[in-house]
Chains A and B, each alone.
Chain A
Amino acid sequence: DAGVIQSPRHEVTEMGQEVTLRCKPISGHNSLFWYRQTMMRGLELLIYFNNNVPIDDSGMPEDRFSAKMPNASFSTLKIQPSEPRDSAVYFCASSFRGLAFFGQGTRLTVV
């Protein structure tokens, strides 16, 4: 298995633009997480899904952020409109039987 796959690896966008981050979890994993990592705030859980259903989105910072998981093999995190303070590394992770595996992250820069 190739592990958790995220795309793109790097994204640079202008303030106000829509950004979509993508994640393909490990096949057979029933939970998926989106995290954001910054120097100031460390690793923050944004949202997580269980069996494609959003369970806890209390970490989503604002209405500008939304996440979907239309099927077991794909999830997106969308920011619309983006702002410079959204610049961070966004990680997707999937888990099975309580062990989480992380993707390599998407480094987002909003200028």
Chain B
Amino acid sequence: AQSVAQPEDQVNVAEGNPLTVKCTYSVSGNPYLFWYVQYPNRGLQFLLKYITGDNLVKGSYGFEAEFNKSQTSFHLKKPSALVSDSALYFCAVRDGGNFNKFYFGSGTKLNVKP
């Protein structure tokens, strides 16, 4: 079965500091991994994805994520956080067999303080 886990309900970071939002996954085949962001009263927006290739994936708004197969992790990172990055972040895995079914983590609330 496919699943993702986001161990932190909330991450607090000061503006200008690096941020990391953690995600681990469990898949039966090749992982197709995604990060989405949700701003208040909005739908989820795609940030980045890993399908194959380089382990470091770059996405929107300066975010990047590192795929680590041995640790089954796909942590979201940004070198310098902005207050405007404050939002709810979801990690997701797509079922490789059932091509279009997505499994989302529980979400991590990122708070960036000035």
Whether A56 sits at the interface, judged by CB under 8 Å, is: yes
Whether A91 sits at the interface, judged by CB under 8 Å, is: yes
Query: Is there an interface contact between A98 and B101, defined as CB atoms closer than 8 Å?
Result: no
Least CB distance from B101 to A in Å reads: 6
B49 contacts which chain A residues (CB < 8 A)? 99
Whether B90 sits at the interface, judged by CB under 8 Å, is: yes
Whether B73 sits at the interface, judged by CB under 8 Å, is: no
B101 contacts which chain A residues (CB < 8 A)? 45, 48, 55-56
A50, A55, A100, A105: the one contacting B102 at CB < 8 Å is A100
CB-CB nearest in chain B for A95: B100
B contact residues, total (Cβ < 8 Å): 23
Whether A43 sits at the interface, judged by CB under 8 Å, is: yes
Least CB distance from A1 to B in Å reads: 14
CB-CB nearest in chain A for B49: A99
Max chain A C-beta neighbours (<10 A), residue from B44, B90, B103: B44
Query: Is there an interface contact between B42 and A42, defined as CB atoms closer than 8 Å?
Result: no
Whether B106 sits at the interface, judged by CB under 8 Å, is: yes
CB-CB nearest in chain A for B104: A43
A4 contacts which chain B residues (CB < 8 A)? 43
Whether A13 sits at the interface, judged by CB under 8 Å, is: no
B44 contacts which chain A residues (CB < 8 A)? 43, 91, 93, 100, 102
B99 contacts which chain A residues (CB < 8 A)? 98
Whether A25 sits at the interface, judged by CB under 8 Å, is: no
Whether B30 sits at the interface, judged by CB under 8 Å, is: no
Whether B107 sits at the interface, judged by CB under 8 Å, is: yes
Query: Is there an interface contact between A99 and B46, defined as CB atoms closer than 8 Å?
Result: yes
Query: Is there an interface contact between A104 and B104, defined as CB atoms closer than 8 Å?
Result: no
A101–B34 Cα gap in the complex (Å)?
A: 12
List B residues at the A interface (Cβ < 8 Å): 32, 34, 36, 41-46, 49, 51, 90, 94, 98-107
The 10 closest A-B pairs by CB, nearest first: A102-B43, A31-B100, A102-B44, A42-B106, A43-B104, A104-B43, A103-B43, A105-B43, A95-B100, A91-B43
